[in-house]
Chain A
Amino acid sequence: MTTRAEATPPPVRPILMKGNEAIAEAAIQAGCDAYFGYPITPQAELLEWMAHRMPELGRVFIQAESEIGAINMGLGAAATGARVLVSSSSPGISLMAEAMSYMAGSELPIVLVNVMRGGPGLGSIGPSQADYFQATKGHGHGDYRVPVLAPSSIAEMVDLVATAFEIAERYRTPTMLLTDGVMGQAMEPVIPIYRTPERTAGGWELTGADGRMPRVVRSIHLQPEAMEGHNRHLQAKYRTIEECEVRWAGERLEDAEIAIVAYGTSARVARTAIERARESGLAAGLFRPITLWPFPSRALASLADRVRAILVVEMSAGQLVEDVRLAVGDRTPVHFHGRTGGIVPTPGEVVEALRRAWSTT
């Protein structure tokens, strides 16, 4: 693979970047060899950015016939050891579920971006976080997990794209960047800090059996004992990821008596709500999971021992809240505030939810 115009140096002054385009450019700067996609709102700008940039760099861009085609092209390219990005939005991710299961089983590194929109079904094109279950509990069939990274700013998006490639390749696993229509569409000033992860040959890539034994990339193990052995291997890998890859951020938690748990766009709304709550004397803080799987359960449990209540804010009918309740147990009450359908909660309604939660303590 040839690359002509190589990585441009990062700007010294902030530039205005749209989330979808920031993801695309970050992937390019991270050394993405091939991109496969299909038009869907609200992630179309990502595809368009790649359509413009990848060919000029001598890299691979294909607008596939469907999301199924796109993700399977990704499977093929990833099987050769190429660094691959595929992106879509909620209904398209559902179509990719089959191949995600195959790639988890075949242990193929690939980065998949979901710019979530309202569902179920064709839903709305408004921003949503209703694919949390899909992303964190498995898209397709079988026992597998996929690391899920959830940025809450465009600068963080840029950073996490590189992290996603690192995790994908370190563990030979599909890895997802989970964001939403607001994050994808919004523009904000950013000094993007691009990273290009090191490449390491794993000894499994399909390159043609020239002077070595043939290699097979596959998920099938028809003998039950062999299939169970493969599952044990995958599960051991997932336990390692749970040990080593948990990421979260805390804001104003030092003196917090109530904590909001939120990610992505919801975390941004929560941040404003926390400021307002503090102005009126309520010491609130933010616990923001950055990896949704592996979930920062231990850190959250330890926080739960220190605060008098937790409020989960999501753009869904209540999905993240289940993982929060599992982590928190009966350490402290867990409250929930969610909006659906493409509606972003306002800081005002989150402050109200904080006050209601506080009044029960």
Chain B
Amino acid sequence: MIDTRRRIYGRPTILADRSTHYCSGCGHGIIHRLVAELLDEMALGPRTIGVASVGCSVFAYDYLDVDFVESPHGRAPAVATGVRRVRPDAFVFTYQGDGDLAAIGTAEIIHAAARGERISVIFVNNGIYGMTGGQMAPTTLLGQRTTSSPTGRESSSTGYPLPITEMLAILPGVSYAARGSIADPGAIGRTKAMLRRAFEIQLSGDGLSIVEILSTCPVGWGMTAAESMEHVAQDVVKIFPLGVMVDRSTAAEH
């Protein structure tokens, strides 16, 4: 008799078997899982060196069972550059939030991209500084209330949301730039495909790959978990449209 059962869902081996410290409705849990699934599926775990940044996701190494180095705030692409250059065979990724990558770390990400560093950047954009109590980020939407823009972000004094992935996409050193979200199961599947492509491009020897992932911060946004997902799907995507911005890689797609 043929056993027709097959495993369709389980915990990736890379994903630690413990509860996260993340708030209910936070997107980090989903994104960690996507990364863990891909590292498993692509058999990359034993050669991975992750670079953790500053913010809620500094503890990514508690949930992803791979080697990790903690970076100072915003410096992850420089740290990853150092790792990459002395470890040509490693799989190297950074995991950065929007305060980290789009504010304090702009010089490091732009120049890692300009050099075409062979690293993959996972850029989690929830439009707010979550860990420090919900302050305005460069990616905060106009009109959005935060603890440091209490009457709503105004362009006259704080400028406009920073489309940094679009900015990076014009650089020839960037082999792949895309923006996904975790707002619904379909979007999660498409985001996973983007991450897979980004990882494949690193393995192929091409330049920097970045996937921006629109995520949530229900506590910082003053919303329920469900409302925050709805907000991403309805509002945030109007300012930060989803899709592949550039794919310069000649690596075959799988």
The secondary structure that dominates the B interface is: helix
| Residues 25 to 78 of chain B near chain A (Cβ within 8 Å) | 45-49, 51-52, 58, 61, 65-72, 75, 78
A72 beta carbon closer than 8 Å to chain B? yes
CB atoms of A69 and B71 under 8 A apart: no
The CA of A66 and the CA of B108, in the complex, are separated in Å by 9
Q: A69 is contacted by which of B45, B48, B66, B107 (Cβ under 8 Å)?
A: B107
- Given A206-B83, A208-B66, A216-B61, list of 10 further CB < 8 A pairs? A65-B111, A69-B111, A72-B71, A75-B79, A76-B69, A76-B71, A76-B80, A76-B84, A79-B49, A106-B70
B233 beta carbon closer than 8 Å to chain A? no
B215 to chain A, nearest CB (A): 22
The CA of A4 and the CA of B70, in the complex, are separated in Å by 32
CB atoms of A74 and B45 under 8 A apart: no
Listed residue (B61, B65, B78) with the most chain A CB atoms within 10 angstroms of its CB: B78
CB atoms of A210 and B47 under 8 A apart: yes
B110 to chain A, nearest CB (A): 8
Chosen A-B contacts, 25 in total, with CB atoms closer than 8 Å, are A36-B82, A62-B115, A66-B107, A69-B78, A72-B72, A72-B78, A72-B108, A75-B71, A75-B72, A75-B75, A76-B84, A79-B69, A79-B82, A79-B83, A98-B72, A99-B72, A102-B71, A106-B70, A209-B46, A214-B65, A214-B66, A216-B68, A217-B68, A218-B52, A218-B70
B78 to chain A, nearest CB (A): 4
Listed residue (B67, B70, B80) with the most chain A CB atoms within 10 angstroms of its CB: B67
The CA of A319 and the CA of B75, in the complex, are separated in Å by 32
The CA of A207 and the CA of B146, in the complex, are separated in Å by 41
Q: B61 is contacted by which of A74, A76, A214 (Cβ under 8 Å)?
A: A214
CB atoms of B45 and A73 under 8 A apart: no
CB atoms of A68 and B107 under 8 A apart: yes
Residue of B nearest to A205 (CB): B67
* Known A208-B46, A209-B46: A73·B67 in contact at CB below 8 Å: no
The CA of A142 and the CA of B61, in the complex, are separated in Å by 23
| Residues 209 to 228 of chain A near chain B (Cβ within 8 Å) | 209-211, 214-220
CB atoms of B107 and A65 under 8 A apart: yes
A77 beta carbon closer than 8 Å to chain B? yes
Residue of A nearest to B84 (CB): A76
Q: A77 is contacted by which of B52, B72, B83 (Cβ under 8 Å)?
A: B83
Per-residue B-contact encoding for A79-116, CB less than 8 Å = 1, 0 else = 11010100000000000001100100010000000000
Question: Which residues from B are CB-within-8-Å of A64?
Answer: 78, 111
* Known A65-B108, A68-B108, A80-B49: A73·B81 in contact at CB below 8 Å: yes
The CA of A168 and the CA of B9, in the complex, are separated in Å by 47
Residue of A nearest to B48 (CB): A208
Question: Which residues from B are CB-within-8-Å of A82?
Answer: 86
| Residues 96 to 120 of chain B near chain A (Cβ within 8 Å) | 107-108, 110-111, 115
| Residues 39 to 88 of chain A near chain B (Cβ within 8 Å) | 60, 62, 64-66, 68-70, 72-80, 82, 84
B132 to chain A, nearest CB (A): 14
The CA of A72 and the CA of B68, in the complex, are separated in Å by 15
The CA of A123 and the CA of B143, in the complex, are separated in Å by 44
B101 to chain A, nearest CB (A): 14
Question: Which residues from A are CB-within-8-Å of B71?
Answer: 72, 75-76, 102
* Known A62-B81, A73-B81, A208-B47: A102·B86 in contact at CB below 8 Å: no
A1 beta carbon closer than 8 Å to chain B? yes
CB atoms of A74 and B49 under 8 A apart: no
CB atoms of B90 and A208 under 8 A apart: yes
Residue of A nearest to B51 (CB): A76
Question: Which residues from B are CB-within-8-Å of A311?
Answer: none
CB atoms of B83 and A76 under 8 A apart: yes
A180 beta carbon closer than 8 Å to chain B? no
Question: Which residues from A are CB-within-8-Å of B67?
Answer: 206-209, 214-216
CB atoms of A207 and B82 under 8 A apart: no
B144 to chain A, nearest CB (A): 28
A25 beta carbon closer than 8 Å to chain B? no
The CA of A236 and the CA of B67, in the complex, are separated in Å by 27
